Amino acid sequence: MPDVLQRGPVRGGLPRRGVAPVTRPAPVAVVGPTGTGKSDLALDLAERLRGEIVNIDAMQLYRGMDIGTAKLAPAERRGIPHHQLDVLDVTQTATVANYQQAAAHDVEEITERGAVPIIVGGSMMYVQSLLDEWSFPATDADVRARWEAFLAQRGVAAVHEELSRVDPEAAASILPTDGRRLVRALEVVEITGRPFAASAPRIGEPRWGTRIIGVDRESTELDERLRLRTRLMFERGLVDEVRGLIDVGLREGVTAPRAIGYAQVLAWFDGEYDLDEAQERTFIGTRRYVRRQRSWFRRDRRIRWVDGNDPDIANTVIRGLDDIRMLGER
């Protein structure tokens, strides 16, 4: 199977002939750090606004990677259509460019049906690529091969260190274990002579007029939530999930085995440390990722931030949206 994303589920259809077209509703994006409550808010908004959910978490694209990504089980989705979940095998490579194309198609089909796309997740470059129509620089096979050889010879830490030297902002936005994306960033920097982020569009009006909501919590509280979340993942069977994924090729994948939690359990299987250490490293890796997410999203002045502790958070968000009627609130 080629390494491309598949389109999410399609329900409903286009307007019948002779029926006046419905004004397309503007999407709502729910972004922010891991563990803040984005998924619950997205479900509440989808129920209130006649919405369908479009995932924008890179690791939730993978079939079978459920516990370690905190993916909602089908029974927890309240009957709301979800798109861009479970569209890749763990042996396939997730790319921002492929995601952008597939998710944009989903968003446009949802609006054609008169429903509201609720775009939810925290994968930073995926968010920007979708909402700002990121155009991707050309590749150079020779440059790419040279950096891939550097990765193979020196290891991912050395690649991350090199990117930190030439483009600190890009290094801060990419997981230090994600060798493929680190190599791509170095390739772009070398080809263009500019920082990796310079290839991204300038932040302006979001695509489709999307309203962008950011969810966050106080740092100490979020750390406690992340620690509990990590412990529950291990208690609920993350090790068995990884064991099953190894049988279907997890180790042969490029992006999937580097996901936080999965990488640490694989290292435990390899005898690098004990299971308690794997759990602690998963927590630490998640907390570091949250810091990168905060740094990235806080630069986007279009985001309207809300407190994840707000007991009436969905109504708070809806009251703050412009043109509520256009959004189709029930």
Can you list the residues of the chain whose pLDDT is less than 50?
1-21, 323-330
Lookup: tokens for 237: 């069977």
Please give the pLDDT value at position 65. 98
Q: What pLDDT shows up at residue 169?
A: 84
Quick one: pLDDT at residue 23? 72
Q: Domain 141-199 is in which class?
A: mainly alpha
Domain spans, the chain: 28-134+201-327, 141-199
The string of pLDDT tens digits covering residues 26-71 is: 999 999 999 999 999 999 999 999 999 999 999 999 999 999 999 9
* CB neighbour list of residue 61: distance below 8 Å, 6 or more residues apart: 5, 55, 84, 85, 86, 87, 88, 94, 99
User: Which residue type does 202 have?
Assistant: R
CATH of 28-134+201-327, one of 3.50.50.60, 3.40.120.10, 3.10.450.350, 3.40.50.300: 3.40.50.300
Quote the longest CA-to-CA distance of the chain.
66
